[in-house]
Protein backbone atom coordinates (compact mmCIF):
# COMPACT_ATOMS: atom_id res chain seq x y z
CA UNK A 1 0.00 0.00 0.00
CA UNK A 2 1.23 3.43 -0.94
CA UNK A 3 1.93 6.01 1.81
CA UNK A 4 1.17 9.30 0.03
CA UNK A 5 -2.15 9.33 -1.73
CA UNK A 6 -4.62 11.72 -3.26
CA UNK A 7 -8.17 11.86 -4.49
CA UNK A 8 -10.01 14.13 -6.85
CA UNK A 9 -13.46 13.85 -8.35
CA UNK A 10 -16.26 15.68 -10.14
CA UNK A 11 -17.22 19.17 -8.96
CA UNK A 12 -20.73 18.22 -7.86
CA UNK A 13 -22.65 14.94 -7.89
CA UNK A 14 -26.44 14.67 -7.75
CA UNK A 15 -27.72 11.13 -7.23
CA UNK A 16 -30.95 9.24 -6.77
CA UNK A 17 -34.03 8.08 -8.63
CA UNK A 18 -35.35 10.82 -10.96
CA UNK A 19 -32.42 13.10 -10.11
CA UNK A 20 -32.24 14.12 -13.80
CA UNK A 21 -35.25 16.34 -13.03
CA UNK A 22 -33.01 18.31 -10.64
CA UNK A 23 -30.63 19.46 -13.38
CA UNK A 24 -32.22 22.93 -13.60
CA UNK A 25 -31.41 23.63 -9.93
CA UNK A 26 -27.69 23.15 -10.48
CA UNK A 27 -27.07 24.89 -13.81
CA UNK A 28 -26.02 28.11 -12.06
CA UNK A 29 -22.73 26.53 -10.89
CA UNK A 30 -21.62 26.47 -14.54
CA UNK A 31 -21.47 30.25 -14.89
CA UNK A 32 -22.86 32.17 -17.81
CA UNK A 33 -23.84 29.45 -20.30
CA UNK A 34 -25.63 30.32 -23.56
CA UNK A 35 -25.32 27.30 -25.82
CA UNK A 36 -24.99 23.61 -24.99
CA UNK A 37 -24.37 20.48 -27.04
CA UNK A 38 -25.73 17.14 -25.85
CA UNK A 39 -23.23 14.46 -26.89
CA UNK A 40 -24.81 11.02 -27.03
CA UNK A 41 -25.29 7.81 -29.03
CA UNK A 42 -28.03 7.16 -31.64
CA UNK A 43 -29.97 5.11 -29.05
CA UNK A 44 -30.88 8.26 -27.08
CA UNK A 45 -31.58 10.59 -30.01
CA UNK A 46 -35.36 10.51 -29.60
CA UNK A 47 -35.50 9.53 -25.92
CA UNK A 48 -37.60 11.29 -23.29
CA UNK A 49 -34.37 11.96 -21.37
CA UNK A 50 -33.13 14.31 -24.09
CA UNK A 51 -36.49 16.07 -23.94
CA UNK A 52 -36.24 16.39 -20.16
CA UNK A 53 -32.73 17.84 -20.37
CA UNK A 54 -33.81 20.14 -23.22
CA UNK A 55 -36.80 21.55 -21.29
CA UNK A 56 -34.60 22.37 -18.33
CA UNK A 57 -31.93 24.04 -20.49
CA UNK A 58 -34.53 26.10 -22.33
CA UNK A 59 -36.05 27.12 -18.99
CA UNK A 60 -32.63 28.50 -18.03
CA UNK A 61 -32.29 30.39 -21.36
CA UNK A 62 -29.69 27.96 -22.68
CA UNK A 63 -30.09 26.94 -26.33
CA UNK A 64 -28.93 23.46 -27.25
CA UNK A 65 -28.21 21.00 -30.03
CA UNK A 66 -28.18 17.23 -29.91
CA UNK A 67 -25.26 15.34 -31.42
CA UNK A 68 -26.38 11.72 -31.31
CA UNK A 69 -23.65 10.13 -33.37
CA UNK A 70 -21.09 8.75 -30.93
CA UNK A 71 -20.06 5.20 -31.81
CA UNK A 72 -19.26 2.57 -29.16
CA UNK A 73 -15.59 2.47 -28.12
CA UNK A 74 -14.79 5.53 -30.29
CA UNK A 75 -11.64 5.77 -32.38
CA UNK A 76 -9.36 8.82 -32.61
CA UNK A 77 -10.64 9.45 -36.15
CA UNK A 78 -14.28 9.31 -35.09
CA UNK A 79 -13.81 11.84 -32.31
CA UNK A 80 -11.87 14.12 -34.66
CA UNK A 81 -14.76 13.96 -37.15
CA UNK A 82 -17.28 14.85 -34.42
CA UNK A 83 -15.02 17.70 -33.31
CA UNK A 84 -14.90 19.03 -36.88
CA UNK A 85 -18.71 18.99 -37.02
CA UNK A 86 -18.85 21.08 -33.80
CA UNK A 87 -16.30 23.68 -34.86
CA UNK A 88 -17.37 27.28 -35.31
CA UNK A 89 -20.51 26.82 -33.22
CA UNK A 90 -19.21 28.33 -29.96
CA UNK A 91 -20.74 25.91 -27.47
CA UNK A 92 -19.99 26.82 -23.87
CA UNK A 93 -21.31 23.62 -22.26
CA UNK A 94 -21.08 19.95 -23.28
CA UNK A 95 -23.46 17.39 -21.79
CA UNK A 96 -22.39 13.77 -22.17
CA UNK A 97 -25.33 11.36 -21.97
CA UNK A 98 -24.71 7.63 -22.39
CA UNK A 99 -22.24 4.91 -21.53
CA UNK A 100 -18.49 5.39 -21.25
CA UNK A 101 -18.19 5.92 -25.01
CA UNK A 102 -20.41 9.03 -25.02
CA UNK A 103 -19.00 10.36 -21.74
CA UNK A 104 -15.39 9.93 -22.87
CA UNK A 105 -16.22 11.60 -26.19
CA UNK A 106 -17.75 14.60 -24.37
CA UNK A 107 -14.71 14.85 -22.07
CA UNK A 108 -12.27 14.81 -24.98
CA UNK A 109 -14.32 17.24 -27.09
CA UNK A 110 -14.34 19.64 -24.14
CA UNK A 111 -10.54 19.86 -23.96
CA UNK A 112 -10.07 19.74 -27.74
CA UNK A 113 -12.22 22.90 -27.85
CA UNK A 114 -9.73 24.93 -25.83
CA UNK A 115 -6.37 23.23 -26.46
CA UNK A 116 -5.10 23.91 -29.90
CA UNK A 117 -3.71 20.41 -30.26
CA UNK A 118 -4.71 17.33 -32.28
CA UNK A 119 -6.24 14.50 -30.23
CA UNK A 120 -3.19 12.28 -30.72
CA UNK A 121 -1.08 14.86 -28.87
CA UNK A 122 -3.46 14.78 -25.89
CA UNK A 123 -3.08 11.02 -25.39
CA UNK A 124 -1.01 10.17 -22.30
CA UNK A 125 -0.84 11.59 -18.79
CA UNK A 126 -1.06 15.36 -18.24
CA UNK A 127 -0.69 16.28 -21.91
CA UNK A 128 -3.74 18.57 -21.79
CA UNK A 129 -2.50 22.12 -21.23
CA UNK A 130 -5.69 24.09 -20.61
CA UNK A 131 -9.02 23.64 -18.90
CA UNK A 132 -11.79 22.62 -21.33
CA UNK A 133 -15.30 24.02 -21.61
CA UNK A 134 -17.54 22.88 -18.71
CA UNK A 135 -19.12 19.42 -18.89
CA UNK A 136 -22.08 17.68 -17.32
CA UNK A 137 -21.84 13.89 -17.41
CA UNK A 138 -24.90 11.66 -17.15
CA UNK A 139 -24.10 7.93 -17.27
CA UNK A 140 -26.66 5.46 -18.65
CA UNK A 141 -24.59 2.31 -18.15
CA UNK A 142 -23.29 1.17 -14.76
CA UNK A 143 -19.77 0.27 -15.69
CA UNK A 144 -17.00 2.64 -16.57
CA UNK A 145 -17.34 5.23 -13.81
CA UNK A 146 -16.07 7.65 -16.47
CA UNK A 147 -18.30 10.37 -15.00
CA UNK A 148 -15.95 10.67 -12.01
CA UNK A 149 -12.55 9.85 -13.51
CA UNK A 150 -9.90 12.09 -15.09
CA UNK A 151 -9.54 9.51 -17.90
CA UNK A 152 -10.98 9.17 -21.39
CA UNK A 153 -10.24 6.14 -23.51
CA UNK A 154 -9.87 6.12 -27.29
CA UNK A 155 -9.21 3.34 -29.76
CA UNK A 156 -6.03 3.95 -31.73
CA UNK A 157 -6.47 1.75 -34.83
CA UNK A 158 -2.87 1.94 -36.11
CA UNK A 159 -1.55 0.80 -32.68
CA UNK A 160 -4.37 -1.80 -32.44
CA UNK A 161 -4.70 -0.62 -28.85
CA UNK A 162 -6.86 1.56 -26.66
CA UNK A 163 -5.14 4.48 -25.03
CA UNK A 164 -6.04 7.02 -22.39
CA UNK A 165 -6.13 10.80 -22.24
CA UNK A 166 -5.48 11.37 -18.53
CA UNK A 167 -5.89 14.87 -17.14
CA UNK A 168 -7.56 16.61 -14.23
CA UNK A 169 -9.13 18.89 -16.86
CA UNK A 170 -11.36 15.97 -17.89
CA UNK A 171 -13.21 15.99 -14.57
CA UNK A 172 -16.74 17.32 -15.05
CA UNK A 173 -18.39 20.23 -13.26
CA UNK A 174 -21.56 18.25 -12.61
CA UNK A 175 -22.57 14.58 -12.59
CA UNK A 176 -26.09 13.19 -12.44
CA UNK A 177 -26.43 9.61 -11.25
CA UNK A 178 -30.04 8.70 -12.03
CA UNK A 179 -30.65 4.93 -12.01
CA UNK A 180 -33.89 5.43 -13.97
CA UNK A 181 -31.72 6.09 -17.04
CA UNK A 182 -30.25 2.60 -16.80
CA UNK A 183 -33.58 0.72 -16.79
CA UNK A 184 -33.48 0.17 -20.57
CA UNK A 185 -30.01 -1.36 -20.49
CA UNK A 186 -30.31 -4.91 -21.94
CA UNK A 187 -29.11 -7.89 -19.84
CA UNK A 188 -25.93 -8.51 -21.84
CA UNK A 189 -24.73 -4.89 -21.54
CA UNK A 190 -25.81 -4.76 -17.87
CA UNK A 191 -23.68 -7.86 -17.28
CA UNK A 192 -20.58 -6.74 -19.16
CA UNK A 193 -20.62 -3.18 -17.81
CA UNK A 194 -21.38 -4.41 -14.28
CA UNK A 195 -18.41 -6.76 -14.35
CA UNK A 196 -16.31 -3.89 -15.72
CA UNK A 197 -17.22 -1.85 -12.64
CA UNK A 198 -16.45 -4.79 -10.34
CA UNK A 199 -13.07 -5.17 -12.07
CA UNK A 200 -12.28 -1.47 -11.52
CA UNK A 201 -12.87 -1.86 -7.82
CA UNK A 202 -11.13 -5.21 -7.52
CA UNK A 203 -8.03 -3.97 -9.35
CA UNK A 204 -7.99 -0.71 -7.35
CA UNK A 205 -8.13 -2.76 -4.14
CA UNK A 206 -5.13 -4.91 -5.12
CA UNK A 207 -3.22 -2.09 -6.88
CA UNK A 208 0.23 -1.12 -5.63
CA UNK A 209 -1.31 2.36 -5.23
CA UNK A 210 -4.23 1.15 -3.07
CA UNK A 211 -4.77 3.48 -0.13
CA UNK A 212 -7.38 4.15 2.57
CA UNK A 213 -9.48 6.39 0.29
CA UNK A 214 -9.51 4.04 -2.70
CA UNK A 215 -10.08 1.03 -0.42
CA UNK A 216 -13.21 2.62 1.02
CA UNK A 217 -14.74 3.27 -2.41
CA UNK A 218 -13.56 -0.05 -3.86
CA UNK A 219 -14.97 -2.15 -1.03
CA UNK A 220 -18.35 -0.43 -1.00
CA UNK A 221 -18.49 -0.70 -4.79
CA UNK A 222 -17.81 -4.47 -4.68
CA UNK A 223 -20.39 -4.91 -1.91
CA UNK A 224 -23.11 -3.13 -3.90
CA UNK A 225 -22.30 -4.81 -7.21
CA UNK A 226 -22.00 -8.31 -5.77
CA UNK A 227 -25.38 -8.07 -4.09
CA UNK A 228 -27.18 -6.70 -7.16
CA UNK A 229 -25.50 -7.72 -10.42
CA UNK A 230 -27.58 -10.87 -10.93
CA UNK A 231 -30.88 -9.11 -10.09
CA UNK A 232 -30.07 -6.13 -12.34
CA UNK A 233 -29.42 -8.51 -15.26
CA UNK A 234 -32.28 -10.91 -14.70
CA UNK A 235 -34.87 -8.39 -13.48
CA UNK A 236 -33.93 -5.23 -15.34
CA UNK A 237 -36.83 -3.15 -14.00
CA UNK A 238 -35.67 -3.58 -10.39
CA UNK A 239 -34.78 0.01 -9.51
CA UNK A 240 -33.10 -0.88 -6.23
CA UNK A 241 -30.67 -3.19 -8.03
CA UNK A 242 -30.13 -0.55 -10.74
CA UNK A 243 -29.40 1.99 -7.98
CA UNK A 244 -26.79 -0.32 -6.41
CA UNK A 245 -25.15 -0.88 -9.77
CA UNK A 246 -24.94 2.80 -10.69
CA UNK A 247 -23.54 3.82 -7.30
CA UNK A 248 -21.20 0.79 -7.35
CA UNK A 249 -19.92 1.86 -10.74
CA UNK A 250 -19.35 5.49 -9.68
CA UNK A 251 -17.53 4.34 -6.54
CA UNK A 252 -15.42 2.07 -8.78
CA UNK A 253 -14.48 5.14 -10.83
CA UNK A 254 -13.54 6.99 -7.65
CA UNK A 255 -11.44 4.05 -6.47
CA UNK A 256 -9.55 3.78 -9.75
CA UNK A 257 -8.96 7.54 -9.87
CA UNK A 258 -7.02 7.22 -6.64
CA UNK A 259 -5.38 3.79 -7.03
CA UNK A 260 -5.41 2.94 -10.75
CA UNK A 261 -6.33 -0.31 -12.45
CA UNK A 262 -3.76 -2.98 -13.22
CA UNK A 263 -2.94 -6.00 -15.41
CA UNK A 264 -6.53 -7.00 -16.26
CA UNK A 265 -7.02 -3.64 -17.94
CA UNK A 266 -3.59 -3.75 -19.60
CA UNK A 267 -4.37 -7.15 -21.15
CA UNK A 268 -7.89 -5.99 -22.12
CA UNK A 269 -6.68 -3.01 -24.17
CA UNK A 270 -5.35 -4.99 -27.17
CA UNK A 271 -8.49 -7.18 -27.11
CA UNK A 272 -10.54 -4.00 -27.56
CA UNK A 273 -8.10 -2.21 -29.86
CA UNK A 274 -7.49 -5.07 -32.29
CA UNK A 275 -10.47 -7.40 -31.95
CA UNK A 276 -13.15 -4.91 -30.83
CA UNK A 277 -14.19 -7.00 -27.85
CA UNK A 278 -16.44 -4.79 -25.67
CA UNK A 279 -14.40 -3.44 -22.77
CA UNK A 280 -16.54 -5.03 -20.03
CA UNK A 281 -16.49 -8.48 -21.64
CA UNK A 282 -12.71 -8.36 -22.09
CA UNK A 283 -12.23 -7.44 -18.43
CA UNK A 284 -14.62 -10.14 -17.17
CA UNK A 285 -12.96 -12.88 -19.19
CA UNK A 286 -9.49 -11.89 -18.02
CA UNK A 287 -10.24 -11.24 -14.34
CA UNK A 288 -10.14 -14.83 -12.97
CA UNK A 289 -7.05 -15.77 -15.01
CA UNK A 290 -5.01 -12.68 -14.14
CA UNK A 291 -6.08 -13.11 -10.52
CA UNK A 292 -4.73 -16.68 -10.42
CA UNK A 293 -1.34 -15.43 -11.65
CA UNK A 294 -1.35 -12.61 -9.07
CA UNK A 295 -2.68 -14.86 -6.30
CA UNK A 296 0.40 -15.31 -4.10
CA UNK A 297 0.79 -11.52 -3.90
CA UNK A 298 -2.85 -10.68 -3.11
CA UNK A 299 -4.26 -13.55 -1.06
CA UNK A 300 -4.76 -11.51 2.13
CA UNK A 301 -6.49 -8.66 0.31
CA UNK A 302 -8.72 -11.13 -1.54
CA UNK A 303 -9.71 -12.69 1.77
CA UNK A 304 -10.86 -9.25 2.95
CA UNK A 305 -13.06 -8.90 -0.13
CA UNK A 306 -14.44 -12.44 0.22
CA UNK A 307 -15.38 -11.72 3.82
CA UNK A 308 -17.00 -8.37 3.02
CA UNK A 309 -19.13 -9.62 0.11
CA UNK A 310 -20.08 -12.83 1.89
CA UNK A 311 -18.65 -15.56 -0.32
CA UNK A 312 -16.95 -17.45 2.50
CA UNK A 313 -18.48 -20.81 3.32
CA UNK A 314 -16.98 -21.02 6.81
CA UNK A 315 -15.77 -18.46 9.36
CA UNK A 316 -12.60 -20.50 9.87
CA UNK A 317 -11.62 -20.43 6.20
CA UNK A 318 -7.95 -19.65 5.56
CA UNK A 319 -6.89 -16.76 3.31
CA UNK A 320 -6.12 -19.26 0.56
CA UNK A 321 -9.60 -20.79 0.80
CA UNK A 322 -11.20 -17.35 0.89
CA UNK A 323 -9.27 -16.20 -2.19
CA UNK A 324 -10.26 -19.38 -4.03
CA UNK A 325 -13.92 -18.89 -3.05
CA UNK A 326 -13.78 -15.37 -4.48
CA UNK A 327 -12.35 -16.53 -7.82
CA UNK A 328 -15.02 -19.23 -7.99
CA UNK A 329 -17.70 -16.61 -7.32
CA UNK A 330 -16.39 -14.39 -10.14
CA UNK A 331 -16.36 -17.37 -12.53
CA UNK A 332 -19.91 -18.30 -11.52
CA UNK A 333 -21.16 -14.75 -12.15
CA UNK A 334 -19.68 -14.61 -15.63
CA UNK A 335 -21.15 -18.03 -16.53
CA UNK A 336 -24.61 -17.18 -15.18
CA UNK A 337 -24.50 -13.80 -16.94
CA UNK A 338 -23.59 -15.48 -20.26
CA UNK A 339 -20.40 -13.50 -20.67
CA UNK A 340 -18.17 -15.33 -23.19
CA UNK A 341 -15.44 -17.42 -21.57
CA UNK A 342 -13.28 -17.96 -24.62
CA UNK A 343 -11.44 -15.69 -27.04
CA UNK A 344 -12.14 -18.05 -29.95
CA UNK A 345 -15.70 -16.64 -30.01
CA UNK A 346 -14.12 -13.38 -31.20
CA UNK A 347 -11.99 -14.99 -33.92
CA UNK A 348 -8.77 -14.95 -31.90
CA UNK A 349 -6.32 -17.76 -32.62
CA UNK A 350 -3.16 -19.17 -31.05
CA UNK A 351 -1.04 -17.29 -33.61
CA UNK A 352 -2.40 -13.97 -32.27
CA UNK A 353 -1.14 -14.59 -28.72
CA UNK A 354 2.40 -13.24 -29.20
CA UNK A 355 1.21 -9.94 -30.67
CA UNK A 356 -1.46 -9.55 -28.00
CA UNK A 357 1.07 -10.06 -25.19
CA UNK A 358 3.57 -7.69 -26.81
CA UNK A 359 0.88 -5.01 -27.14
CA UNK A 360 -0.28 -5.52 -23.53
CA UNK A 361 3.31 -5.27 -22.25
CA UNK A 362 3.41 -1.68 -23.57
CA UNK A 363 0.57 -0.58 -21.28
CA UNK A 364 3.08 0.23 -18.54
CA UNK A 365 0.84 2.97 -17.05
CA UNK A 366 -1.37 0.14 -15.71
CA UNK A 367 1.11 -2.74 -15.44
CA UNK A 368 3.07 -0.61 -12.97
CA UNK A 369 0.07 -0.80 -10.61
CA UNK A 370 -0.04 -4.61 -10.73
CA UNK A 371 0.96 -6.23 -7.42
CA UNK A 372 3.28 -8.57 -9.27
CA UNK A 373 5.55 -8.02 -12.26
CA UNK A 374 4.14 -9.96 -15.20
CA UNK A 375 6.53 -11.30 -17.83
CA UNK A 376 5.59 -11.58 -21.51
CA UNK A 377 5.39 -15.35 -20.91
CA UNK A 378 2.88 -14.77 -18.06
CA UNK A 379 0.75 -12.64 -20.36
CA UNK A 380 0.90 -15.15 -23.18
CA UNK A 381 -0.10 -17.85 -20.69
CA UNK A 382 -3.15 -15.83 -19.61
CA UNK A 383 -4.35 -15.33 -23.19
CA UNK A 384 -3.75 -19.04 -23.91
CA UNK A 385 -5.96 -20.03 -20.96
CA UNK A 386 -8.75 -18.18 -22.76
CA UNK A 387 -8.19 -20.14 -25.96
CA UNK A 388 -8.62 -23.65 -24.50
DSSP output for 142-160 = SS--GGG-SEEEEEEGGGT
**CB 3 to ligand NAD: min, Å:** 25
**CB 313 to ligand NAD: min, Å:** 32
Taking only Cα atoms into account, the Rg of the chain, rounded to an integer number of angstroms, comes to 20
**CB 32 to ligand NAD: min, Å:** 28
Nearer to ligand NAD, 107 or 289 (CB): 107
Nearer to ligand NAD, 115 or 141 (CB): 141
Binding site for ligand NAD (CB under 6 A): 41, 43, 72-73, 98-102, 104, 140-141, 143-146, 149, 151-153, 162, 181-182, 184-185, 189, 193, 196, 279-280
**CB 101 to ligand NAD: min, Å:** 3
Strands of the 35-39 sheet, one edge to the other: 12-15, 174-177, 135-139, 93-98, 35-39, 63-67
**CB 286 to ligand NAD: min, Å:** 14
Nearer to ligand NAD, 33 or 259 (CB): 259
**CB 352 to ligand NAD: min, Å:** 20
| Among candidate residues 128, 71, 131, the one with its CA nearest the CA of residue 102 | 71
Between the alpha carbon of residue 188 and those of residues 18, 139, 163, 184, 268, the distances in Å are 24, 17, 25, 12, 18
Nearer to ligand NAD, 72 or 340 (CB): 72
**CB 133 to ligand NAD: min, Å:** 18
Nearer to ligand NAD, 252 or 288 (CB): 252
Judge whether 213 and 204 are in contact, CB under 8 Å: no
Nearer to ligand NAD, 314 or 364 (CB): 364
Which residues neighbour 31 within 8 Å (Cβ) at sequence distance 6 or greater?
134
Nearer to ligand NAD, 151 or 294 (CB): 151
**CB 288 to ligand NAD: min, Å:** 19
Contacts 24+ apart (CB under 8 A), 118-121: 118/80, 119/76, 119/79, 119/80, 119/83, 119/154, 119/165, 120/76, 120/156
Contacts 24+ apart (CB under 8 A), 333-338: 333/195, 333/229, 333/230, 334/195, 334/284, 334/285, 334/287, 334/288, 336/230, 337/187, 337/191, 337/194, 337/195, 337/229, 337/230, 337/233, 338/187, 338/188, 338/191
H-type alpha helices, 310-346: 319-336
How many Å apart are CA 14 and CA 21, to the nearest integer?
10
| Among candidate residues 238, 57, 38, 245, the one with its CA nearest the CA of residue 138 | 38
According to DSSP, the residues that pair with 163 across neighbouring strands are 154
**CB 40 to ligand NAD: min, Å:** 8
Nearer to ligand NAD, 54 or 72 (CB): 72
Nearer to ligand NAD, 151 or 201 (CB): 151
Amino acid sequence: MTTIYSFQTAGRIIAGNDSLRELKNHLSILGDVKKAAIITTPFFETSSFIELIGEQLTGADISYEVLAEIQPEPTVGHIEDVFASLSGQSFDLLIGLGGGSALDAAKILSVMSTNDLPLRDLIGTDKVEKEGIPTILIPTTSGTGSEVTPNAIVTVPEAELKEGVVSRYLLPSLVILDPVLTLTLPPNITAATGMDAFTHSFESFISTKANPISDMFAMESMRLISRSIITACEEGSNLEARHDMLMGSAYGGMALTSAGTAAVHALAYPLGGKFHIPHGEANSMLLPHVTRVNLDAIQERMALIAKEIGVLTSREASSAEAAEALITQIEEWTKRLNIPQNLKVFGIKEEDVEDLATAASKVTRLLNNNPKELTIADMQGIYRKLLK
